[in-house]
Amino acid sequence: MHTYQADIEWILSFKNQFDFDYWTTSDLRLLKGSPLNAVIAPTYLVELGVSVSEPVIQESVELLFSVLKEDGRFKLYPKGGIYPCYTALALLSLCQLGQAQDFRLDKTFSYFLETQESDGGWKCNKYSYGRGPETEFSTPLTTLLVLHAFLHREKFSENPQAAAAVAFLLKHWEIKTPISPCHYGIGKLFKQVEYPFADYNLFQYVYVLSHYPVAQTDARFFEAFAYLQSKTQDGKIVVERHSPKLNKLEFCKKGQVSELATKRYQQILQNLGL
């Protein structure tokens, strides 16, 4: 019996919410029903202690691999564009589901190394807000997701290109204003502690960057870390924000200390030698 068994069962209760199984539709709209969808829901189970060897996780893994294209990208919807953020999200999910070393992901890791922008990030070319000068920047969330995935493969987390991506995100801490075609900024919403990790957010930003040596000595990173630290309660993480769909879950109750989120925070402290 898992500590968060009730949460696990609640997430599993949505597994057949559409006309298929494993949180998706028969035509494989894998992001439908966010965040309880085929890409994200299985990662919650692993976060809650479900073994990656369990059938529900293994079947979810194969479902994700079934939409992997020859060039390393993931097609998470049967129609429409394939954006770098979708591929980054699928890659990170598979890494979290224990598949980081699977040879099938080799091309996906290579895809990101081959498509990095000159500013160090990765860019989703979907111009929902027009084409102002701010849209010339890469997409912060996509870049953060890629860096998070890189942590699961040593040779990629130590790659100079990863350091360039870290520098891009640290630069955004200075810029603050919304950048990229998707207009990600660093404001009030960003600074609300979000758990589980999802959007471009202070907690995931500090967590991911804390693993990279280039950030560990940077004043901008320590400003972000200090802000996160100021939000803690007796050294524990208090959840301030997440998808309203997760309100019934105990492991991430808004306004309350989360023990699992605190484990992530303790990893940050360990990375920094604190």
| Four-CA torsion 136, 124, 112, 100, nearest 10 degrees | 140
Residue 238, helix vs strand vs coil: strand
Q: Which amino acid is at 237?
A: I
Tens-digit pLDDT string for the chain (274 aa): 678 999 999 999 999 999 999 999 999 999 999 999 999 999 999 999 999 999 999 999 999 999 999 999 999 999 988 999 999 999 999 999 999 999 999 999 999 999 999 999 999 887 676 678 888 999 999 999 999 999 999 877 778 999 999 999 999 999 999 999 999 999 999 999 999 999 999 999 999 999 999 999 999 999 999 999 999 999 999 999 999 999 999 999 999 999 999 999 999 999 999 8
Q: Which two tokens stand for residue 171?
A: 């630069």
Residue 57 to residue 245: CA distance in whole angstroms? 21
* Rounded CA separation 8/34 (Å): 17
Give, as one character, the DSSP assignment of residue 76. -
The pTM assigned to this predicted structure is 0.96
Question: Quick one: which of 197, 194, 67, 209 has its CA closest to 143?
Answer: 209
Instruction: Calculate the dihedral angle through the C-alpha atoms of 191, 245, 25, 41, rounding to the nearest 10 degrees.
Output: 60
Token pair in block for residue 182? 């998707």
